[in-house]
């Protein structure tokens, strides 16, 4: 079996469910549970549209969530998921809303791509298929966040928005916050044309020039093509917000390069599947 373990993450297979866990977050397994799913035979698509138009797929996804949570020894009923829309909106989760099922497809989390809580027994979850998922944890304040940052969310600096909200709502200090970066499309495969390149250049030129890495991170490949390192951009802007470089843990795994284990929109196109990340205080 292919194993994606490296110095940052551990690849586990429990009862037929594969997932990654960050070595740093495992240091806090007495207060924290987390995972990033693996396997293109599983799909975690639970959107409102799926629930309405393909109930069979929806119920399979619920079953996958339940079995994954069983592998992590957490109750899947306590999952809370935003209705992702490539926004910069991050919301605080104070309590469960549904009594007997996960908090999926709720109006309270419409147009939302990040969740933050300091409450135990609330397991925050997001999904991706090439986009970046970021897991945040402040061990001092016992605050967690789970954030979906596709290229549109990255341009809107949703990762920074999350840290600012953790500071404002919970008095978190950025230097205490740990950020773990799940598998996503890497620079090797994130090829774009001028319209998208221009958006990144306009937003991040100063940040990247300041560290002398503009041409490395937004790299021209041909007259009409560029490759962009969105993971490195998030690292830089998070450090500018006060996170320590040593507290940012990038798994270094590309979803496209590992298409046999990780869902990728660019590979699968229409009908693509979704992976999920979970983080919760226990």
For position 166, what pLDDT does the model report?
98
Rounded to the nearest 5°, which phi and psi values hold at 170?
-130, 5
| pLDDT reported for residue 16 | 84
Q: How far apart are CA 260 and CA 250, in angstroms?
A: 20
Q: Give per-residue pLDDT as tens, 78-111.
A: 999 999 999 999 999 999 999 999 999 999 999 9
pLDDT at residue 190, as a whole number: 98
Measured CA to CA in angstroms, residue 142 lies from 74, 250, 251, 261, 280 at distances of 18, 21, 23, 32, 10
Q: What is each CA distance from 107 to 76, 88, 97, 207, in whole angstroms?
A: 20, 17, 11, 36
> Residue 125, Cα to own-chain centre: how many angstroms?
8
Residue 177: predicted pLDDT: 99
Enter the CATH code of domain 9-186+232-281.
3.60.140.10
Strand order in the sheet with 218-220: 191-192, 226-228, 218-220
Average pLDDT, the chain: 97
Indicate where the chain has its CATH 3.60.140.10 domain(s): 9-186+232-281
pLDDT along the chain (282 residues), means of 10: 95 93 98 98 96 96 97 96 98 97 98 98 98 98 98 98 98 98 98 98 98 98 97 98 98 98 97 97 97
Q: Give every CB contact of residue 140 below 8 A, 6+ residues apart in sequence.
A: 172, 173, 176
In this predicted structure, what is the pLDDT of residue 77?
Answer: 98
């Amino acid at each position: 079996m292919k194993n994606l373990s490296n110095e940052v993450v551990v690849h586990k297979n429990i009862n037929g469910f594969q997932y990654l866990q960050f070595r740093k977050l495992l240091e806090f397994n007495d207060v924290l549970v987390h995972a990033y799913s693996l396997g293109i035979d599983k799909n975690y698509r639970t959107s409102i549209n799926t629930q309405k138009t393909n109930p069979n797929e929806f119920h399979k996804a619920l079953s996958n969530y339940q079995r994954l949570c069983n592998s992590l020894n957490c109750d899947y009923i306590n999952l809370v998921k935003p209705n992702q829309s490539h926004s910069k909106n991050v919301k605080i989760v104070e309590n469960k809303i549904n009594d007997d099922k996960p908090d999926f497809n709720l109006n309270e989390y419409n147009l939302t791509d990040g969740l933050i809580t300091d409450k135990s027994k609330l397991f925050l979850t997001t999904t991706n298929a090439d986009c970046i998922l970021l897991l945040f944890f402040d061990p001092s304040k016992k605050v967690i966040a789970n954030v979906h940052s596709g290229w549109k969310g990255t341009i809107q600096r949703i990762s920074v928005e999350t840290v600012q909200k953790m500071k404002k709502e919970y008095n978190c200090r950025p230097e205490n916050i740990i950020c773990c970066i799940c598998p996503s499309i890497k620079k090797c495969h994130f090829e774009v044309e001028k319209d998208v390149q221009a958006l990144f250049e306009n937003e991040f030129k100063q940040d990247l020039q300041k560290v002398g890495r503009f041409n490395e991170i937004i790299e021209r490949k041909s007259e009409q093509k560029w490759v962009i390192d969105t993971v490195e951009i998030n690292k830089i802007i998070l450090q500018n917000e006060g996170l320590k470089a040593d507290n940012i843990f990038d798994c270094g795994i590309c979803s496209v390069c590992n298409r046999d284990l990780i869902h990728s929109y660019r590979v699968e196109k229409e009908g693509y599947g979704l992976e999920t990340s979970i983080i919760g205080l226990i």
